[in-house]
Structure 1
Amino acid sequence: MTGIESWGGVKVGALYGMLHRMESEGLVEPVRTEQDGGRPQRTVYAITDAGRAELAVHLDRALTGPFVRSTTVEAALKWPGGLDHEALASRLAVRREALAGQLAELVASRELHRREDHLSAASLAGFRRTELHLEAELAWHRELAEMLPDIAEGDRRDRPESRSRADRAVTKLRPRRDGAS
């Protein structure tokens, strides 16, 4: 119901393992076991004082840390395993389409929840942050298309030729010093 797989990157089944690990670490404790109709029994947990302290550390990191990068794609581009320009472009097109699909689903879900008046201000802010991240990733993909020939060709830093397409693409992004774009 919460959609944790889409926003948290956690499979619902993995939550049980995490709960058991947190219980063994003294971060949560079972409060009661309940059963709803013919559904399996479930255990309700409460956070402990040690859990609150740990949560405070994680909240502080999440709210103050500038964590917006994922190095997975960057690493794959740095070491493309012999893929040529067409193969790289083809694989990245699959990723771009998946990102566009996620963005469309996110916007549709946000609008549905908004129409049904199920969104708190914090939830709306979370939706919007994810939406902006997906839009930025899609913008990066558009710029990446210009860089792919150089990426497939390999590192050009040691070549004396004119600036690469990658250099030119990145230069277009830099804001002018006078504040104009």
Structure 2
Amino acid sequence: MARRPDLVGLTVLAMLSVRPAHPYELHRFIVDTHKDYVTGLPRSLYHAVEKLAGEELIVPVETSREGRRPERTIYEITDEGRQELATRLRRLLETPDAERRTFTAAVSLMGALPVSDALQALRTRAASIEGALVGLNAHMKALQDSGLPDVLTVELDYERTLSEAELAWIGRLVARLESGELTWSGTVNEGLLAQVLGTS
């Protein structure tokens, strides 16, 4: 059984690629920007931070305390963390998965990649979906030719419809990126992140 991608850890790496922050700030950003694919908050976030720190993908850089509040540790991403972020994100963007939440997360964070890398990953994904659709259409035709009632293959038609819709959406996204209509400076929406995290 394939290991499920760590979407919480991926999100932490993407946010820390913009600037150092402490877990409470990251939690606020996830909630305020409706990253609804991140579940189990706040426990999952603190667990992800602890795991990433243990793998030295992020490191603590400062601990502060305001009044009687608990200490807050600020983390920053390491060079290894940046490489891991890029590798994980490219893989999730380019590899179709039955769990559509994974692609939602990858698209949500693709601003952490250079535009050229995101484009290449999306084109790879589109090619994979096109290949899968050719196979699915052939399989459905063979079932129909065998005389199998359509009602027994309706789930295949549903899967085909979802794949066709995703393929069309990717095509529009690629066109926006190629035309320059959609672009970014290489990190997750910096302005929004700075606004939500503030200056603390």
* Normalised TM-score (structure 1): 0.43
Larger RCO: Structure 1 or Structure 2 (Cα < 8 Å, ≥ 6 residues apart)?
2
Instruction: Give the number of the structure whose alpha-carbon radius of gyration is greater.
Output: 1
